[in-house]
Amino acid sequence: MTRILTAGDLVEDFSLPDETGTVRSLTELLADGPVVLFFYPAALTGGCTAEACHFRDLAAEFAAVGARPVGISGDSVDRQQEFTGKHVLGMPLLSDVDGSVRERFGVKRGFSLAPTKRVTFVIGQDRTVWEVVRSELRMNTHADRALEVLRARGA
């Protein structure tokens, strides 16, 4: 089991397809500012919908600090497309079907119906992790804490 990345760690670049099937790299996503990468267990489930919709509802606040939220789960591109379409999420949702990125960040769960832990990483443009937010049950904590960190850093 890979250890979970922590503040100060450098994130390796990676590329995954988004909800449209377009392959996006972390470097490309970071081009315009910090990224708030939120891992979630499964699209279209109650908790994940609440979490993603909270990020969506705070879109203007993330834009104001020059950051963008990006969701990531093991769901297929089609499932991510359905998720964003149903809830008009307006942010990239990456499809990590083989779990390789989940593993690299250390958020892979053992044997489970939900193989991805609910963890959010605030990543600076130099690919350094600024903050790690971990909460399986308090969905709003992820976006709220990420915004606090971004504001404190003057992002």
Please state whether 90 falls in left (phi above 0), alpha (psi between -120 and 50) or beta. Answer: left
**Catalytic site residue from 37, 42, 48, 147:** 48
- H/E stretch holding 76 reads none
Long-range contacts of 10-17 (CB under 8 A, 24+ apart): 10/126, 10/127, 10/128, 10/129, 11/105, 11/121, 11/123, 11/127, 11/128, 11/129, 12/104, 12/127, 13/127, 14/100, 14/101, 14/104, 16/72, 16/94, 16/95, 16/96, 16/101, 17/77, 17/94, 17/95
Query: Is residue 48 annotated as part of the catalytic site, yes or no?
Result: yes
Using left for φ > 0, alpha for ψ between -120 and 50, and beta otherwise, residue 141 falls in alpha
Tokens 């992002």 found at? 155
Residues annotated as catalytic are 48
